[in-house]
Amino acid sequence: MNRTSAPVDAPATGAWEGLVTTALLGTDRRTPPGTGPGPAAPVALLEAAAVETVRRRAGLRPARAAERPQPAPEDPRPPLPPAAVRRLALLLADRPGASGGGRRGTAPDLTELLPQWLAAANTRGFAPPPQALPALLDAARGRTDLRPAALEFAGPRALWLARLNPDWRFALRSTPGGNTALQHLEDDDSVRQLWQEGLFAERVALLSVLRSRDPSAARDLLATTWPTERAEDRLMFLDSLRTGLGSDDEPFLEQALADRSRNVRATAAELLSALPGSALAARMAVRAEACVAIDHTQAVQAAGVTEVPGATVATPTIAVEAPHECDPGMERDGVVAKAPAGRGERSWWLGQLVEAAPLGTWSRRLGGRTPREIVALPVTDDWQGELHAAWCRAAVRQRDAEWSRALLGEPSAPEAGGPGAVSLAERAKLLGTLDAAERAEWVAGFIATHGLSEAFQLLGVCAVPWAPPLGRAVVDALNIARDAGSYPWSFSGVMGLAERCLDPSEAGRLDALLAVPDEPENASPGAGGYWAEAFQRLVTTLRLRAAMTEELNTP
C-alpha cells in the first residue's frame, strides 16, 4: 500500500459506514463512489467492501499521505507456545450466540473460557502473536469485562495499533500508560501540564497510575486544583484515593468533610471510617457508644427473674437508644440526615453511626466480649436486625475477618441467614473478607445443608479453581437434584459456574454421571436427557481447560 495511516487525532473517513448505508438502501437508490447506476453497481459495492475489510483487518484506515508511523515497539516477553497460539485463535473466533439459541448441547462455551485463558497467559508472562492483536482488540472492544486482562496480554503493540485505528481508542483510555503523556511520569513538568490541561479521562488515568506508584504524590497533585474542580469531578478524583489509602491521607480527607457537595462529604467520611485510627472514626465511636450498651436490668426483667440476693441472673441484653436528632457535627462527618422512603429517621441515623465506628469499640463497650459473644446477645425492642446489618457493613468496610465469622455463623445453622447476615448479598460480602480456603469451606458447608438454590451468589465470591471440598459439594448437590428429577433448567447458572470454576482434575469423577438417568414419575419431561447433556458439557469443558493449561506450560 502506498498510503500510510492518518495521525491518531485525524477523523475517521467513514468509508465503511458509507458502504453499509449503500448496501442497506440498495444500489438502485444509491451507488458506490465513482460508479454509475446499472448492473455494475452491485459488483462495485462488493469489491469496495472487500478492499475496506482488508484495510480494517490490517488495523489501518486509509487516509491522505502523511508521515509514516513509527515502527511498533518490541514486546520483550517470550512468545506463546505454538499449541497455545492455535488455541487463542479458536477462542477469539468463537462468538456469543453462535449456536442460534435453544439448548446449548455438549460443546463448551469458548467465549466464557477466554477470560480464564488470558489470566493464565498473563500469569506466565507470554506475549501474543502479532496476527492475533486485531481480533483481541475487537474482543476487548465488545466486552468491557475482558478489557483489563486482554489489554495486559496485548501489551505495547496494542497501544501502537490503537493510536492508528479509532475503533480501538478505548485501549488508550483503559490502559495505564496508554496515553503517551503517561509514559513520562518521572517528568514533573509533564505530569503537571497533563493534570492542568488534559481531558477529564486523561486526568483520571494520570491520578490512578500515580496513586498506584506514589500515593502521596498523587494526593498532593490533587490538592493543587481541588478547590476549582467541579463537584462531580471531585467525587471521581476522591474515589481514586481508595488505592493505597493510609493515615497520611487523613488531613486531606478531613478538609473534604467540609466540601460543598454532599456526595463528596459522604465519600470522604466513608474513606476516613475505613481508617480505624482516624479522628472521624473516634468521633463516630463516641456517638455509637452512646446508643448501644449492656442492660442487665432489662435482661433480668425479660427473663422474669426477681432481683433478690442469690437469684440467677439471665444473659445480659444489648439495649439500643437511637439518636433523637442528626446534629450539624454528624452531618459534617458524613451522616445523611434524610432517611430513604420507608425507613425511620432514628434507625437510619443509628445504622450510619454503628457502620462508621471502629469494630474494636464494641469489645470494650460491651464487657470485653468477643465478636461471636456480642453477636449472640439478645437485643431489646426489635433493634437486632438494624444493629447486626450495620455491623455487617462495618466488617466489610474495615475488612475484619473475626467479625465476619461471627456474623456469618456456622454454615450448617438451621436459619440460612446466620446470626447477623440477613441476605445473600450481605453473606457474599462478608465471605469476601475471609481467605480463599476458609471461604470455600464455609460455602461447601452451606451447600451441604441448604442446597444450591441459595448458594449461587455465594459461589461467585469463591476463588477459582474451587477447592476440592467446595467442588465436591457442588457436584454432589447437582447429582442429588438430578436423581430427584428436579427441573433442570433452574440449575443452568450453577452448571455454567461449575464449567468455569471446578478444578479440571474433577473430570474423572464425573464420568458416572454422563448416562441418561431414569426419570422419576414427577420429573420434568426430558429432564434426564438435559442432565446427561449438561454433565457431558461439564466434563468436556473441564478437559478442555486442562488442555489449555498444558498448552501454556509447554516449553
CB 552 within 8 A of CB 537: no
Is residue 148 reached through a cis peptide bond, with omega within 30 degrees of 0 on the bond before it? no
- Count of CB atoms within 10 A of residue 98's CB? 11
Cβ contacts of residue 326 below 8 Å, gap of 6+? Answer: 335, 337, 345, 349
Handedness of CA 173, 174, 180, 184 (dihedral sign): positive
pLDDT tens for 156-211 read: 899 899 988 888 988 887 665 444 444 556 677 888 888 988 878 778 888 888 89
* Residue type, position 199, single letter: L
DSSP element (H, E) containing 295: strand 292-295
C-alpha to C-alpha distance for 446 and 452, rounded to whole angstroms: 9
pLDDT tens for 450-507 read: 888 888 889 989 998 999 999 999 999 988 888 877 777 778 889 889 999 999 988 8
Question: And the C-alpha cell for 335?
Answer: 451522616
- Count of CB atoms within 10 A of residue 481's CB? 20
The predicted pLDDT at position 179 comes to: 45
pLDDT tens for 339-348 read: 999 999 999 9
C-alpha to C-alpha distance for 552 and 9, rounded to whole angstroms: 38
**Whole-number average pLDDT of the chain:** 85
The predicted pLDDT at position 9 comes to: 37
pLDDT tens for 268-292 read: 999 999 998 999 999 999 999 999 9
C-alpha to C-alpha distance for 264 and 256, rounded to whole angstroms: 7
C-alpha to C-alpha distance for 398 and 472, rounded to whole angstroms: 32
- The share of the chain scoring above pLDDT 70, in percent, equals 86
pTM for this prediction: 0.74
Taking CA 225 as the corner, what is the angle to CA 224 and CA 231, rounded to the nearest 5 degrees? 140
The predicted pLDDT at position 175 comes to: 60
- Count of CB atoms within 10 A of residue 88's CB? 24
C-alpha to C-alpha distance for 285 and 480, rounded to whole angstroms: 49
How far is it between the farthest Cα atoms of the chain?
111
- The share of the chain scoring above pLDDT 90, in percent, equals 50
The predicted pLDDT at position 110 comes to: 86
The predicted pLDDT at position 61 comes to: 63
pLDDT tens for 223-282 read: 999 999 999 999 999 999 999 999 999 999 999 999 989 899 999 999 999 998 999 999
The predicted pLDDT at position 10 comes to: 36
The predicted pLDDT at position 540 comes to: 92
The predicted pLDDT at position 285 comes to: 96
Q: Is 366 helix (H, G, I), strand (E, B) or coil?
A: coil
In three state form, how does the secondary structure of 172-215 look? HHHCCCCCHHHHHCCCHHHHHHHHHHCCHHHHHHHHHHHHHHCH
Question: And the C-alpha cell for 316?
Answer: 445480659
* Residue type, position 298, single letter: Q
> Where is mean pLDDT largest: 11-25, 112-126, 476-490?
112-126
Least confident residue range of 90-94, 416-420, 441-445? 416-420
Which 8-state DSSP code applies to residue 127? B
